[in-house]
Homo-oligomer: A and B are copies of this chain.
Amino acid sequence: MATRAGLDQVLVVRAAAELADTLGLNEVTLATLAEKLGVRTPTLYHYVDGLAGLRREIALLACRELTQNLGKSIMGKAGEEAVLAMAQAYRSFVNTHPGLYSATVQAADPADQELVAAQTEVVEVAIQTLASYHFEKEDAIHAVRMLRSLVHGFATLESSGGFGIPLDLNETFRRLLTTFLTALALPH
């Protein structure tokens, strides 16, 4: 027994991410992950610091992927076009990677600088997107918070099936953003 499985941390965390997106973040246990990888649970301790460590790695991966997706979505775009593209990318990420997205939203241990930094980077992209609006310092922060609240709120409610009525969600989302952008364009 004990033929090597050829694992490494990246592979393990990726497998966990897949489980998160298919079964839900809460169903990612060392047991299910070990089974998926064809290995016994204690083996995972060589790649990850227990369940808590695994969750942290998932969150890190998730933040990085989201940041990357958002970054790509606004390449070569600016102003309203960029905001719309980013918002769509955000929403799309929530829907294709519901488990990973959940991981990005969980409160991080403030002492965990690496994770906090990864979470901050997501916000940085949003700030960049709004740069062309030339807000005063504080106005920019408020604007980013507003945009984030709105996109996060819509995306999570949609993802959890919170919108019961079967009326076009794309239309709601489009209106949500244009309403916000219209209001931003007004004198402030």
CA distance A167 to B139 in the complex (A): 11
Does the CB pair B148–A157 fall under 8 Å?
yes
Which residues of A in the span 126-160 have a Cβ within 8 Å of any Cβ on B? 138, 141-142, 145-146, 148-154, 156-157, 160
Chain A at the B interface: mostly helix, strand, loop or mixed? helix
Copies in the complex: 2
CA distance A148 to B148 in the complex (A): 14
A183 within 8 A of B: yes
Partner among B119, B142, B175 whose Cβ is within 8 Å of the Cβ of A171: B142
In whole angstroms, how far apart are the Cα atoms of A134 and B89 in the complex?
33
- In the complex, which range does the number of interface residues on chain A fall in? 35 or more
Given contacts A123-B164, A146-B150, 16 further A-B contacts (CB under 8 A): A107-B161, A107-B162, A116-B164, A141-B165, A142-B172, A142-B175, A145-B157, A145-B172, A146-B175, A149-B154, A150-B176, A153-B153, A156-B156, A179-B183, A179-B184, A182-B186
